[in-house]
Structure 1
Amino acid sequence: MDKVIEKLEAWKDIFLKNIPNLAIALVVLVIAYFASRAMNKIVNKTIGRRISQKSVRDLVSRVASAVTILVGLYLAMTVLKFDDTLKTIVSAAGVSGIVIGLALQGTLSNTISGVVLSFRRNLNIGNWVETSGYSGEVMDINLNYFVLKEADNNMVVIPNKTILESPFKNYSLTTKMRIAIECGVEYGADLEQVEELTKKTITANFDQDEIGKNVEFYFTEFGDSSINFLCRFWIDSENALEKLKAKSKAIIEIKKAFDKADINIPFPMRTLEFVPNNKLNLSQVSKEDKKKEKEEESAY
């Protein structure tokens, strides 16, 4: 009992000696707690102007809040002179972090990629993009996946890591888009008339002066049954659907104009010619074949 009493008295002396340090550590923890809550609100409000995804905003703000708490805990343990204990905790946390990181490598990679994508200015919700063989409107950039809504109304879920590592085409970054039409006309057509009529038709249906561009027209090759040409013009558009609609309208109007001007758009044709007076004598052919076979056998 004497040893127990001596031990308790020693602990009492240590406790009384460290009361000021305990008070300071407690104050530090309280300040860190309220600072973390304030940091959560400030970060959430600050990044809310640039990131529309609530899940990403919550993640970033919680990370900032957790860092504030950890800093406060570190300062409190330093005041209490728990340096050795702190080193042990940090070492254990480091080893545990490596193990957890290896186990959740794919998930963490997608999460980090989601945060990075959320800060990209060239990729936002509502944009029309084409990536990894898919094309559609960006509906959501979550922490783990990227959601596209295709033209057929189907949703495509793509891992964030795939989007970050793959090239993508964003149709919404520009307000102008160029359409290319390839066609061919018959060899007997007046090529100058074809060029003039095509440019006139495109200009009448798509105002190029307003966009500040000109219609481009080039004859490209002498084809098997036609002289082929390429026509390019500009439209105001921010998605691939508008591009398809404009291309369809241009084809319809060019076809109407060519029909009205009696300009033929040829297509491959095959002609079969029958000559009834030159029939083959199959029996005669059979005899000649047998004669050749006998001559070959005698030669051997």
Structure 2
Amino acid sequence: MDEFNFQDSIKGISEKLGGWLDSLILNLPNFLLAVIVFIIFVVLAKYIGRIFERVTRRQIKQDSIRIMVVKVIKAVVILIGFFIALGLLNLDKVLTSVLAGAGVVGLAIGLALQGTLNNTFSGLILSFLPELQIGDWVETNGYAGTVTEINLRNIVIKQSDNNYVIIPNSKIIEEPFKNFSRTPRSRIFVNCGVGYESDLEMVRDLTLEVIRDHFPQRGNEEIEFLYQEFGDSSINYVVRFWADVTKNRDILVAQNKAIIAIKKAYDAKDVNIPFPIRTINFKNQLSVNKSGD
């Protein structure tokens, strides 16, 4: 009885192995085709990555973002080849299971890394955004400085005091920012006041002449001089003109140059720039009664 069972077992194993061998022989062309297709997609991913890197080298200056994007594209192309290879092997159920498992895992990872993924996608958007490039001087989220780095998590700003500020990419996408470097020219504002005894028309013409000599205007640019108010000790005005500005320091330099030139011109013409004066009245005297008189 035991010998009979052993022979049946050997026979069953032989039949099973024979069935596998038959299946292998029948599916050998599909297997070879699947391997060839997968290899083709691996090579294709390599060349697509190189082409994308060359095309985006000018648009994406940050190496870390460019390398990461190239790796993602390669992985997507290889995954497509993998799924096609599974289809050629008639492993549709395995393919369905893999896709379902990948969806569940992707959902779990997405929920766990929601903030990180938000910054990552924001970094990809910033890398293609022409309004923000490395070397630009920007103001955003209460900070101002030169953009020194844009990566998949944050941007790095070097402030005028030589300190670095790291701002998450999502904050840049969600909040407004001001970029001084996108335009070569900007309007400068200088505020001042002159005494009430001044000839206002003469002051206006003199100020316009001074600004025009030190800051030549281009094209349709013009200098504007406007009196604003009757102040406590002066009649105040603002003069607006155009100058070369690509960062905040350029504004300060232009204002400094204009103030010095205006002060020299006013001194030469005896134009008074008043300053507040505080008067102390000593008329009321306190009487002190001396004791013992």
Same fold, judged at TM 0.5 (above): yes
2:245 to 233, 237, 240: 237
Q: 1:279 to 1:156 in 2, by over 3 A?
A: closer
Q: Which residues of 2 match residues 189-268 of structure 1 at below 5 A? A: 189-208=198-217, 210=218, 212-268=220-276
What runs of 5+ residues in structure 1 fail to find an aligned partner?
284-300
1:146 to 2:146 alignment: no
Alpha-carbon deviations, 1:131-152, whole Å to 9, x = none?
Answer: 1111111111111110111112
CA distance in 2: counterparts of 1:228 and 1:170, whole angstroms: 30
2:179 counterpart letter in structure 1: N
1:270 counterpart letter in structure 2: R
CA distance in 2: counterparts of 1:150 and 1:212, whole angstroms: 33
* Partner SS for 2:146: strand
1:44 to 37, 47, 53: 53
CA distance in 1: counterparts of 2:60 and 2:70, whole angstroms: 12
1:83 to 2:81 alignment: no
Q: 1:205 to 1:67 in 2, by over 3 A?
A: same
Shift of 1:280: 5.4
Shift of 1:273: 2.3
What runs of 5+ residues in structure 2 fail to find an aligned partner?
1-9
2:17 counterpart letter in structure 1: L
Shift of 1:252: 1.4
- Give the total of aligned pairs: 280
CA distance in 2: counterparts of 1:109 and 1:130, whole angstroms: 22
> What percentage of aligned pairs have identical amino acids?
46
Q: Who is 2:136 aligned against?
A: 127
2:50 counterpart letter in structure 1: K
Shifted more, 260-269 versus 69-78: the winner is: 260-269
Shift of 1:89: 0.8
2:250 counterpart letter in structure 1: E
CA distance in 1: counterparts of 2:142 and 2:219, whole angstroms: 30
Shift of 1:3: 1.6
Q: 1:279 to 1:106 in 2, by over 3 A?
A: closer
Instruction: State whether residues 211 and 236 of structure 1, in contact with CA within 8 Å, keep that contact through their aligned partners in structure 2.
Output: no
1:177 to 186, 193, 201: 186
Shift of 1:160: 0.8
CA distance in 1: counterparts of 2:40 and 2:83, whole angstroms: 13
**TM-score when scaled to structure 1?**
0.89
2:241 counterpart letter in structure 1: F
Q: Which residues of 2 match residues 33-112 of structure 1 at below 5 A? A: 33-112=42-121
1:221 counterpart letter in structure 2: E
Shift of 1:235: 0.6
Instruction: State whether residues 137 and 150 of structure 1, in contact with CA within 8 Å, keep that contact through their aligned partners in structure 2.
Output: yes
Runs of at least 4 residues off by over 6 Å: none
1:146 counterpart letter in structure 2: I
**Aligned residues: CA RMSD:** 1.5
CA distance in 2: counterparts of 1:137 and 1:205, whole angstroms: 28
Shift of 1:212: 4.3
Q: Who is 1:296 aligned against?
A: none
Q: 1:240 to 1:128 in 2, by over 3 A?
A: same
Shifted more, 259-268 versus 63-72: the winner is: 259-268
Q: Who is 1:287 aligned against?
A: none
1:271 counterpart letter in structure 2: T
* Partner SS for 2:250: helix
